[in-house]
A and B are shown apart, each in its own frame.
Chain A
Amino acid sequence: MEKITGAEALMKALIAEGVDTIFGYPGGTIMPAFDALYDYTDRINHVLVRHEQGAVHAAQGYARTSGRTGVCLVTSGPGATNTITGIADAMMDSTPLVVIAGQVAIGMLGTDAFQEVDLVGITQPITKWSYQIRRAEDVAWAVSRAFYIARSGRPGPVVLDFAKNAQNELTEFAPEQIDFVRSYLAFPEPDPGKLKEAAEIINGAEKPLMLVGQGVELGGAREELISLVEKADIPMGSTLLGLSSVPSSHRLNMGMLGMHGNIAPNVKTNECDVLIAVGMRFDDRVTGALAKYAPQAKIVHLDIDFSEFNKNVKADLCVLGNCKETLRLIGEQVKPARHTEWVESFRPYAEKEMEEVIKEELNPGGEKLRMGEVVRAVSDAAGPEAVLVTDVGQNQMSAARYFRYEYPRSIVTSGGLGTMGFGLPAAIGASFGAPHRPVCVFMGDGGFQMNIQELGTIMEQKAPVKMILLNNNFLGMVRQWQELFCNKRYSFTPMVNPDYLEIAKAYGIPARRVATHSELAGAVAEMIACQGPFLLEACVEEEAHVMPMTPPGGAVDMIMTSKDDK
């Protein structure tokens, strides 16, 4: 067999995994891989980012929209450490990634060689698997195992620390196909007894509530979920990451859970008699005070990750398995039911929210633009195919609340880690992961500047990303907390901003500023009609609040609808 370098073996192994897009940035220890890549650009599209953090977030956006594994290629030392935030983010949000970083030659390990960093040591706690490739002959095995681990079970990030000598050494190459790791039960078989018990609990319920997490999206279980909830007439609330698991318009979809979620599903969490949580992990932003979380309810938890069971909320029944299977099997056993009165009882809360929060947000009485109206205008104009990407802060919560979701994999946001700077690069990745869908990213003036250099990537790639900057001249979400809980002591939250239109201009990106209600529709239409990227700066009310809000540490049904509600 012909011998090739470890670097070329990497290219062949990536192609064997079906990789056609990678996000990266070259440097000393990864040069052999980039040199090999030079001959593979007809099969692998490499997107040069402007900062390695951007590469990881882009790979996350790609993975979340396409359902495939995102891939990054970076150098050792600072290149590798720049990826850490994104890796931690992907771990929290169960996003399949393979991050390949250069490493110094193994003979130099442990000598503080130039750009040596203990990447395996640093990333072990924030990855599913972190492995150092020390010999060219291990490339096929390591790459195949990396992809298997990243995408299977509860997905997550994997790091391959690729020593430079292994990139240069010669090896014979035959692709491997790993689909079994003896220590790792990727897809556990559901226990028939537990499935039956779950169905019985649901059959006995008078006021059931389903909590839908990203697991449904990751498991591709939309149909199974809908068929179960329709059969047994179960209203649903969804987590931030689960928002596009079911269409917004579904009769039983009662909206978003959590701190800035909708009133009805949050209040009803503490009124239901049976709570069925699927593919979600009872994050504290969803539960509020645990001691006051659904104490009255019988709790059934369906998840593919056993370590989530009884971690935050003690469940009465835990059903381990892929929710595509468990939801189907439970669905077969539940009896058709109607809970008309219960389902109807959500309505007054939805109406209260409409009256006290949503109306003013969508049709503000004041002159200033509100985030909600901008989001809704964009969502309406972009249509049901659109993918929402967000940054973090008020812009994120407003976007999540007012965007409308139709198709699966329509929301890309940093949930668990809450990473400012996520939005812009993630949107670039989304435009590659879902090339036929409009990609709209909402950002604040703080978060936009955290990875603003990626405008360079957008310029170079002509990535058709619709960027909506919700500019309030504040680190808005922190300012909101400061107003509510720190007596308006605005400690380092006012933002001195540059002229964003000038910045866009420097990158050759068309841009427009909008500040009035009357101009909004026209500006949004111009953005959507534009072929390539576009920056829309919406100057929004500076000291607005995202409402409703469950104050931190408060019970899930203790909900403020205005800042005076405290």
Chain B
Amino acid sequence: MDSEKKLYTVIVHSEHRAGLLSMVTAVFTRRMLSIESINASASSIPGLHKYTMTTITDKETIEIVTAQIRKKIDVVNAQYFTDDEIYQLEIALYKVKTSVIESTPEISGLIRKSGARIVEVNPVYCIVEMHGRSEEISLLYNELRPYECVIQFVRSGRVALTKDNTERTSEFLENHEALRCRRKAESNKN
């Protein structure tokens, strides 16, 4: 059903110019859609930045929101995906009390089982690092919580690649450039 709410991942490619991120987030703000996570960094396409954002909404809304983002000048492309259409990854860091880890052997088991690793140890705390899908990161957090051992916890925004065989953004740029050349040739002829 179109009105069913779920988590969507919106991937945006834009020129690397001051103010563009706020232009993009303003489209969410207008509908008071909260952004669950956001990651912004240089993309593989020269000069372009890539934002990966997640939000919980329905299909109808995300469709309009992405179109309104894509329409902005200096935004090259914006697309939305459900979780089954992307490979996604998040990084998380957990600061865990060393004393509890030492006194509770199950904790090391949980950490090992989840594929996380301990990257820093001192007498007060250990830093556990993990990367995985969002739900895996939440799972480890929820498993650790009952032991009241997590002092701090942070997770990055989600990054994602599409399962598509092509990069639509590069395609768009190539097609647009080709159209420009064709039109130029036509107007030269006339």
Contacts and interface: CB of A to CB of B under 8 A. Distances in A.
B71 A306 contact: yes
A182 B73 contact: no
Contacts of A180: 180
Given A124-B22, A184-B73, A189 B173 contact: no
B155 interface: no
Contacts of A130: 19
B21 to A, nearest CB: 11
A185 B19 contact: no
A119 to B, nearest CB: 11
A204 interface: no
Contacts of A309: 67
B120 to A, nearest CB: 37
A307 B70 CA distance: 8
Given A125-B26, A189-B179, A183 B64 contact: no
Interface in A279-327: 305-307, 309-311
Nearest to A127: B73
7 A-B pairs with least C-beta separation: A307-B67, A183-B76, A307-B71, A129-B73, A125-B26, A124-B23, A307-B68
- Most chain B CB inside 10 Å of its own CB: which residue of A182, A183, A185, A306: A183
A1 interface: no
A171 to B, nearest CB: 21
A128 B15 CA distance: 15
A93 to B, nearest CB: 17
B30 interface: yes
A311 B64 contact: yes
Given A129-B73, A306-B67, A307-B68, A182 B176 contact: yes
B114 to A, nearest CB: 41
A326 to B, nearest CB: 16
A185 B180 CA distance: 10
A129 B20 CA distance: 10
Interface string B149-190: 000000000000000000000000100110110000000000
Nearest to A180: B180
A312 to B, nearest CB: 9
A181 interface: yes
A285 B75 CA distance: 30
Contacts of B106: none
A555 B20 CA distance: 40
A370 to B, nearest CB: 41
Contacts of A183: 14-15, 73-76
A473 B173 CA distance: 58
A120 interface: yes
A125 B177 CA distance: 28
B190 to A, nearest CB: 15
Nearest to A185: B176
A182 B76 contact: yes
Nearest to A305: B71
A180 B74 CA distance: 12
A227 B75 CA distance: 37
A107 interface: no
Nearest to A309: B67
A310 B63 contact: yes
Interface in B1-32: 14-15, 19, 22-23, 26, 30
A182 B75 CA distance: 9
A178 B56 CA distance: 39
Interface residues of B, number: 22
Contacts of B76: 182-183
A309 B70 CA distance: 13
Nearest to A310: B63
Nearest to A308: B67
Contact of A149 (B67, B68, B73, B179): B73
A110 interface: no
Interface string A39-82: 00000000000000000000000000000000000000000000
12 contacts: A121-B19, A124-B23, A130-B19, A180-B180, A182-B76, A182-B177, A183-B73, A185-B179, A306-B67, A307-B68, A309-B67, A311-B64
A225 to B, nearest CB: 24
Given A124-B19, A183-B76, A307 B64 contact: yes
Contacts of A189: 179
Interface string B61-84: 001100110110111100000000
A316 to B, nearest CB: 16
A158 to B, nearest CB: 9
A134 to B, nearest CB: 10
- Most chain A CB inside 10 Å of its own CB: which residue of B15, B71, B177, B179: B71
Interface in A175-203: 180-185, 189
Given A183-B75, A185-B179, 17 more contacts: A121-B22, A124-B23, A125-B30, A129-B73, A180-B180, A181-B73, A182-B176, A183-B14, A183-B73, A184-B74, A189-B179, A305-B71, A307-B64, A307-B67, A310-B64, A311-B64, A311-B67
Interface in A86-144: 120-121, 124-125, 128-130
A505 to B, nearest CB: 47
A128 B72 CA distance: 7
A124 B26 contact: yes
Given A129-B73, A310-B63, A182 B173 contact: yes
A130 B19 CA distance: 9
A284 to B, nearest CB: 15
Contacts of A125: 23, 26, 30
Nearest to B169: A183
Nearest to B77: A183
- Most chain B CB inside 10 Å of its own CB: which residue of A120, A307, A311: A307
- Most chain A CB inside 10 Å of its own CB: which residue of B68, B73, B176, B180: B73
A242 to B, nearest CB: 21
B57 to A, nearest CB: 15
A152 to B, nearest CB: 10
B23 to A, nearest CB: 5
A404 B75 CA distance: 42
A366 B75 CA distance: 59
A306 B75 CA distance: 14
Contacts of B14: 183
Contacts of B22: 121, 124
A158 B180 CA distance: 23
A184 B172 CA distance: 10
Interface in A3-55: none
A195 B66 CA distance: 25
A182 to B, nearest CB: 6
A189 B76 CA distance: 17
A182 B46 CA distance: 13
A184 B71 CA distance: 8
